């Protein structure tokens, strides 16, 4: 089955400030703030929802298609994808923009100042729907270009293509009616517990009503695992213990990759969610969202409870 990952590609530029921001900001002068923090270096990591989910799917042995836009500084990201055997054919290059980028500075007290440039993410990925076979395609619509998130599900429904809707951090941007329309008919709605509450508040819909619109709701619960809700039952899937938790940032996207891999292999939703949880457990063991690796044997051992 063809897997299409619609979302974002981004560079995460991570910097550490060896002091505390508060020592350099005068509260009485906050209205004329002008500060400079000298950092002790920078790390550049590959990120974005589409990149992270595609990486996880690749680790699971799948061959996803990425539908996203990238800027004129695409070369290092494409080189990374090439070295990992990830297809780049459907990624749109926007030469007049830089790739979306987050510039994250963390101080000694774990306070953060982040600047985000959407860059090429402001442009549609221009997905060619005519190339997608309705019976052989599953799409995940993850946070990225907002017009794509709003428009693509309509096209999928018109063509009978299954899609998973993952609104994530885009939720504040949605009109309640458009959001409900996008949820209507999706195979799975996937959110975390905060996002589910926000979604229900925004739309005025109950969870029962949402389950009448989506085939299932998967709610990720961090250290508590995930919850699968259908019209008939609820099931909690536990986390798989990691050897060491270094960075939880990419866990959600890794979970989605493992989940989708299970679905396209014909596994039950619960079995697929367990695969997602196992994949996420490897992601948190490394610093960065696309830094983890595992062999099929290592994955199966963890999935079977042999860490």
| Average pLDDT score over residue span 156-185 | 96
Residue-wise pLDDT tens digits, 44-61: 999 999 999 999 999 999
Poorest-pLDDT segment among 80-94, 106-120, 203-217? 106-120
Confidence at residue 306, expressed as pLDDT on a 0 to 100 scale: 65
Confidence at residue 273, expressed as pLDDT on a 0 to 100 scale: 98
| Mean pLDDT taken over the chain | 94
All residues at 6 or more sequence positions from 146 whose CB lies less than 8 Å from its CB, including other chains: 170, 173
| Average pLDDT score over residue span 162-180 | 96
Number of H helices, E strands in the chain: 9, 14
- The Cα–Cα gap between 68 and 120 comes to 9
**Residue 109 reports pLDDT greater than 90:** no
**Residue 7 reports pLDDT greater than 80:** yes
Question: Percent of the chain scored above 90 by pLDDT?
Answer: 83
Poorest-pLDDT segment among 23-37, 82-96, 231-245? 23-37
Check if 253 is active-site.
Answer: yes
Angle subtended at Cα 194 by Cα 307 and Cα 112, rounded to the nearest 5 degrees? 80
| Average pLDDT score over residue span 169-192 | 96
Question: Percent of the chain scored above 70 by pLDDT?
Answer: 99
Which residue pairs, CB below 8 angstroms and at least 24 apart, start in 102-106?
Answer: 102/10, 102/11, 102/12, 102/13, 102/47, 103/13, 103/15, 104/12, 104/13, 104/14, 104/15, 105/15, 105/16, 105/17, 105/37, 105/39, 106/14, 106/15, 106/16, 106/17
In contact, 279 and 254? CB cutoff 8 Å: yes
| Average pLDDT score over residue span 29-55 | 91
Residue 248: which pLDDT band, with cuts at 50, 70 and 90? confident
**Residue 29 reports pLDDT greater than 80:** no
**Residue 307 reports pLDDT greater than 70:** no
Half-sphere exposure of 89 (CA within 13 A, CB side): 8
**Residue 72 reports pLDDT greater than 90:** yes
Residue 112: which pLDDT band, with cuts at 50, 70 and 90? confident
Give the closest residue to 218 by CA, choosing from 168, 281, 282, 157. Answer: 168
**Residue 301 reports pLDDT greater than 80:** yes
Confidence at residue 206, expressed as pLDDT on a 0 to 100 scale: 97
What Å distances lie between residue 143 and 10, 146, 150, 190, 304, CA to CA?
12, 7, 11, 12, 32
Q: Which of 107, 148, 162, 253 is catalytic?
A: 253
Residue-wise pLDDT tens digits, 268-285: 999 999 999 999 999 999
3-state secondary structure of 49: helix
């Amino acid at each position: 089955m063809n897997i299409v990952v619609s979302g974002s590609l981004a560079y995460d530029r991570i910097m550490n400030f060896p002091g505390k921001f508060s020592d350099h900001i005068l509260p009485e002068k906050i209205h004329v703030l002008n500060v400079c923090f000298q950092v002790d270096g920078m790390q550049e990591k590959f990120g974005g929802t589409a990149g992270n989910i595609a990486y996880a799917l690749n680790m699971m042995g799948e061959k996803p298609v990425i539908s996203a836009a990238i800027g004129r500084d695409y070369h290092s990201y494409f080189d990374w994808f090439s070295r990992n055997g990830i297809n780049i054919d459907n990624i749109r290059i926007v030469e007049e923009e830089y790739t979306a980028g987050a510039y994250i500075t963390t101080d000694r007290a774990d306070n953060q100042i982040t600047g985000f440039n959407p860059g090429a993410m402001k442009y549609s990925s221009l997905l060619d729907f005519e190339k997608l076979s309705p019976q052989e395609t599953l799409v995940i619509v993850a946070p990225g270009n907002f017009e794509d998130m709003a428009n693509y599900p309509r096209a999928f429904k018109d063509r009978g293509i299954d899609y998973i809707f993952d609104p994530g951090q885009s939720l504040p941007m949605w009109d309640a009616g458009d959001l409900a329309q996008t949820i209507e008919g999706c195979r799975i709605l996937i959110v975390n517990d905060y996002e589910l509450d926000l979604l229900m508040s925004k739309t005025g819909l109950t969870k029962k009503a949402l389950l009448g619109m989506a085939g299932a709701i998967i709610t990720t619960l961090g250290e508590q695992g995930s919850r699968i809700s259908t019209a008939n039952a609820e099931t909690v899937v536990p986390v798989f213990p990691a050897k060491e938790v270094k960075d939880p940032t990419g866990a959600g996207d890794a979970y989605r990759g493992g989940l989708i891999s299970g679905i396209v292999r014909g596994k039950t939703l619960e079995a697929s969610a367990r695969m997602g949880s196992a994949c996420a457990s490897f992601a948190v063991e490394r610093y960065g969202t696309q830094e983890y690796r595992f062999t099929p044997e290592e994955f199966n051992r963890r999935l079977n409870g042999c860490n």
